[in-house]
Amino acid sequence: MNIAFIIDPIERLDPGHDTSIALMEAAQEKGHQVWITEAPFLSVVGGKAYGLLRRVELTPVSLVDGHWVADERWYEVDEVELRPLEEMDVVFIRTDPPVTVPYLYATYILDYIDPAKTRVINSPKGIRAANEKMYALQFAEAIPETIVSQNKAVIRETVERWGSAVLKPLGGKAGEGILFLQAGDRNLNSMVEISTRQGQEPVMIQTYLPAAKEGDKRIILLNGDPIGAVNRIPTGSEFRGNMAVGGRVAQVDITDREMDICRQLAPTLQRDGLYFVGIDIIGGYLTEVNVTSPTGVREIDRLNNVRLGHQVMDWLAQP
C-alpha cells in the first residue's frame, strides 16, 4: 500500500516517543510505501484533495537497555511531489492538537478525498465532531462527575460542593492548562477567570479522582478494540501524569471495568470513523477520548515487548 501521514514537521518529532513514527516504521517494515506531508501543504484542485508529498525512508529505532535509541540520521526524504491524496491507499491525520481554525480547515480539505479509493484515519468529520474533552460526556456511565461552563459562579459553586476538582481547557493537549481546584482557595476566582478568558470560553470541571495519584491510564483502541495500555504516574509535586509534563510510565493491565468502558465506546467510535483512538482512564472513570494524534504506542511496545504498529498495519491490510 501507499500510506501517507499528515504530521508536524518530521525534524521536530521524537523517534523514540512519537506514535506517528512507530506507525510509519511499522508500515515500512510491512513493505508499504510511506509518504509524509503537513496540514499547510494540503490543497483542493479540481474538486480533489492534493498534498505536497515526500516519500520517506526510516531507520527504525532499537531497544537498548530498556530505551529506544535512534540513529542520528533516522530518516531520509525524497523530493516533494504534488499528488492527489486519493492515490494513497490510506491517509493518517496525525497533526498534534490544539484543534485551531487552520486545523479545522485542513479537515475540510480532507473531505475531498474519495472514500471509495482511500481510507482516512481518523475521519475528518469524526475529528470535527469529537472534541477530546467534550466527546466523553455522551458516555454518562463511564465518566466522573463533570460540568462544562464558563460561568464563574457555577464553577465556584460546583467546586465548593465537591471540595476539590480538576479544570481542563477544552482545547488543551498534553496536560497543558490543567489546574487543581480546591474549595476555599483564595486564588480560585482568578484561576477561573484566566482559564475562561474572563468568562468568554467554557472549560471542563471534573471531580478530583484521588486515584490519579496511582496513574492516568492510556488505552489504545483500534476499531473500538483495546490493543494495549500504559500507566502514566505523576512524579514529584506534579499532580498531572501526562508524559509531556514528566509523568513516569509503567506496565499495566486492562481491567474488566476498563474493558466494559471500551465496549461502551466502540459503536460510537466506529459510527464516527474514529478507528485509532487513545482513551484516558483514572480510577475506573473515562476522562478523555483522544482522536487527533493519540500517543503511547512507543511506551506500550517497550514495556510489553509488542509492536502495536504492526497490528494496525495488519488491520489496514484486511479486505
Which residue among the candidates 119, 232, 298, 302 is catalytic per the annotation?
A: 232
Report yes or no: 39 and 8 within 8 Å, Cβ to Cβ: no
The residue whose grid cell reads 460561568 is: 151
- Please say if 305 is a catalytic residue: no
Which residue among the candidates 94, 119, 133, 298 is catalytic per the annotation?
A: 133
All three cell numbers of 187, joined, read 486564588
Which residue among the candidates 18, 288, 299, 301 is catalytic per the annotation?
A: 288
Which residue among the candidates 54, 240, 298, 302 is catalytic per the annotation?
A: 240
Report yes or no: 217 and 231 within 8 Å, Cβ to Cβ: yes
The dihedral over CA atoms of 21, 27, 31, 32, expressed in degrees to the nearest 10, equals -100
- Please say if 94 is a catalytic residue: no
- Please say if 280 is a catalytic residue: yes
Q: How far apart are CA 57 and CA 13, in angstroms?
A: 15
- Please say if 232 is a catalytic residue: yes
Which residue among the candidates 290, 299, 301, 302 is catalytic per the annotation?
A: 290
Which residue among the candidates 280, 299, 301, 302 is catalytic per the annotation?
A: 280
Which residue among the candidates 94, 168, 217, 298 is catalytic per the annotation?
A: 168
- Please say if 213 is a catalytic residue: no
- Please say if 288 is a catalytic residue: yes
Beta strands 90-93 and 2-6: pairing type?
parallel
All three cell numbers of 299, joined, read 511506551
Phi, psi at 113, each rounded to 5°: -85, 130
Q: How far apart are CA 109 and CA 251, in angstroms?
A: 39
The dihedral over CA atoms of 59, 243, 197, 124, expressed in degrees to the nearest 10, equals 50
- Please say if 189 is a catalytic residue: no
Beta strands 216-222 and 225-233: pairing type?
antiparallel
Which residue among the candidates 119, 218, 298, 302 is catalytic per the annotation?
A: 218
- Residues pairing with 166 in the sheet: 180, 206
- Please say if 242 is a catalytic residue: no
Residues annotated as catalytic are 133, 168, 218, 232, 240, 280, 288, 290
